[in-house]
Structure 1
Amino acid sequence: MDLRKLKTLIDLVSESNISELEITEADGKVRIVKADPAGVAMVPAASVAPVAAPVVAAPIAAAPAVAAAAPAAAAPVETGHVVKSPMVGTFYRSSSPGGKPFVEVGSEVKEGEPVCIIEAMKIMNEIESDKAGKIIKILCENGQAVEFGQPLFIIE
């Protein structure tokens, strides 16, 4: 089972009312259990472990870089409100390629105003600001893959 299929399944479980999903295919078996409303746990069977192992190994290898970046990222989080991604997908700053971005650093936003788009499963989802204020930092690059709960913007 490929990584994209696994991510899609995880998204479906996290966005639905089900708490557990188990799928068996010729190339393996996957069981996804929703740990709590904010997270999803994935428990792969032994035959899928080679596919899942690189996914687990990458964050472990990157841990020193993340640990070094954490103190720098902690200061802006304390000084403003963080707009987080409500889903896994691809982050876009504008509604079309080459189009004008929804917001820039220094832009004033109102609560409910669109600030970006996240594409998930070929659907473009407008993400709205959950607080009024001024954009002081944009934390994602255009076209970047984002995870559930990942910080996108800091609003002051």
Structure 2
Amino acid sequence: MEAVTEWLKQLERLARLMSQRGVSLLEVRVNGAQVRLSRAPVEPAPHEEPMPPLFLAGYQNAAPPEPEETQSHWQPPGPIEVRSPMVGYCTLLPIEIGSRVERGQPIATVNVLGIPNEVPAPVTGTLIGWQVGNGEAVEYGQPIALIQPLTEEE
């Protein structure tokens, strides 16, 4: 019974988050169980990007696009935004700003219905800032952290 009560509390939190962020549909799958939360949109969004299905089993990080070569010499890229792979509550891992992180190293988790989903660093570099607070609600695609990739000399 306690598990059901906790499940309902998590659903209520997600419903509040949907209302705060203007999300009209959220589908969650956990261990074969599926829950679909929907509400009437308050106002139509001027531009909506399609949202990929939400999977709690893991997160596959897409490789960044290849940079176009417009000059004859290499220039280091700017900071890379690490984005939330799903809607939930973000827990920041204990990594100091200015610390080196390796590609694939978990830097945060996004918790959905009590299930933590790791958010890995997409590149090797230096953590230069957090974009959310620990325990803060995040939405799909919201920036979580900034990482400055290592240059060729490093």
Q: Name the structure 2 match of 1:119.
A: 111
Q: 1:154 to 1:31 in 2, by over 3 A?
A: same
Q: Which has the higher helix share?
A: 1
TM-superposition CA deviations, 1:83-116 (whole Å, max 9, x none): 000101111113xxxxxx1x22111111110001
Unaligned runs of 5+ in 1: 16-21, 24-28, 40-77, 95-100
Change (3 A) 1:79 1:35: closer
8 Å contact 1:11–1:87 — kept in the other structure? no
Say if 2:88 is the partner of 1:89: yes
TM-fit CA distance, 1:121:
1.5
Q: Percent identity?
A: 29
Shift of 1:131: 1.2
Change over 3 Å in CA distance of 1:155–1:111 after alignment to 2: same
Q: RMSD value over aligned CA atoms?
A: 3.7
Note if 1:36 corresponds to 2:50.
Answer: yes
Structure 1's 3 and 143: CA in aligned 2 closer, same or farther, altered over 3 A?
closer
The residue that corresponds to 1:154 in the other structure is: 146
1:12 maps to 2:27: yes
Q: 1: CA distance between counterparts of 2:105 and 2:89?
A: 19
8 Å contact from structure 2 (residues 25, 39) kept in 1: no
Kindly indicate whether structure 1 or structure 2 has the higher relative contact order, using CA contacts under 8 Å at least 6 residues apart. Answer: 2
Task: Tell me the SS of whatever aligns to 2:119.
Answer: strand
User: 1:82: Cα distance to partner?
Assistant: 0.4
The reply to whether residue 110 of structure 1 matches residue 102 of structure 2 is: yes
Counterparts of 2:104 and 2:134 in 1: how far apart (Å)?
21
Structure 2 counterpart SS, 1:12: strand
Q: TM-score, normalised by structure 1?
A: 0.51
Size of the aligned set, in residue pairs, is: 99
Tell me which of 132, 135, 139 is aligned to 1:143: 135
Alpha-carbon distance in structure 1 between the residues aligned to 2:106 and 2:131 = 16
Change (3 A) 1:108 1:88: same
Q: Distance in 2 between matches of 1:123 and 1:152?
A: 18
Q: TM-score normalized by structure 2?
A: 0.51
